């Protein structure tokens, strides 16, 4: 009888790990801050805030392309975010005809609150583990980081 290949073993383990993460979050529940439940922010607006956070100041055309929407649609969403003082607009110093969008301080505060909420949930999951279990969790986190960096490097080389 032959041993299963490494890929066969991985293809069985990955769904088990994903299911465990689903089970964890069903058990503890997803903690949504009350201010988010009463917020009038749309999903599209939140996506733009997250995009500006990860990519930094961006052209309107770049935002639209990354979200797969028309520039006019992106402009409308950005207009509403500017009215809410979550996004600012400025001219590109190299081409004053180009509009650059960026997170305002209140916009950064919203993104930071999302980050802190995720950090708080992760801390909740880790508290109560033994030192040995925490060391294993740290190892897994390090493995994931190395894997992500490797994938990003491969993607950059393919561009």
- Own/partner pairs, 86-91, CB within 8 angstroms, 24+ separation: 86/45, 86/49, 86/110, 87/48, 87/49, 87/52, 90/57
Q: By C-alpha distance, which of 72, 56, 55 is closest to 64?
A: 72
- pLDDT band at residue 48 using 50, 70 and 90 as cut-offs: very high
CB 49 within 8 A of CB 111: yes
Predicted confidence (pLDDT) at residue 1 exceeds the cutoff of 50: no
Tell me the two tokens of residue 117. 């909420």
Share of the chain above pLDDT 90, in %: 51
Lowest mean pLDDT among 20-24, 66-70, 74-78, 131-135: 20-24
pLDDT value of position 38? 63
Domain 41-107 is of which CATH architecture?
A: Orthogonal Bundle (1.10)
> What's the pTM value of the predicted model, to 2 decimals?
0.69
């Amino acid at each position: 009888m032959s041993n299963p290949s490494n890929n066969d073993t991985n293809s069985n383990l990955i769904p088990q790990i994903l299911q465990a993460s689903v089970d964890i979050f069903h058990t503890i529940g997803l903690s949504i801050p009350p201010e988010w439940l009463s917020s009038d922010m749309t999903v599209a607006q939140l996506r733009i805030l997250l995009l500006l956070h990860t990519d930094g100041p961006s052209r309107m055309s770049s935002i639209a392309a990354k979200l797969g929407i028309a520039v006019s649609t992106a402009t409308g969403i950005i207009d509403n975010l500017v009215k809410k003082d979550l996004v600012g607009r400025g001219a590109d110093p190299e081409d004053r005809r180009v509009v650059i969008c960026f997170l305002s301080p209140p916009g950064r505060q919203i993104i930071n609150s999302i980050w802190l909420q995720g950090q708080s949930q992760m801390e909740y999951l880790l508290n109560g583990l033994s030192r040995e279990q925490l060391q294993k969790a740290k190892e897994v986190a390090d493995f994931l980081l190395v894997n992500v960096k490797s994938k990003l490097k491969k993607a950059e080389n393919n561009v």
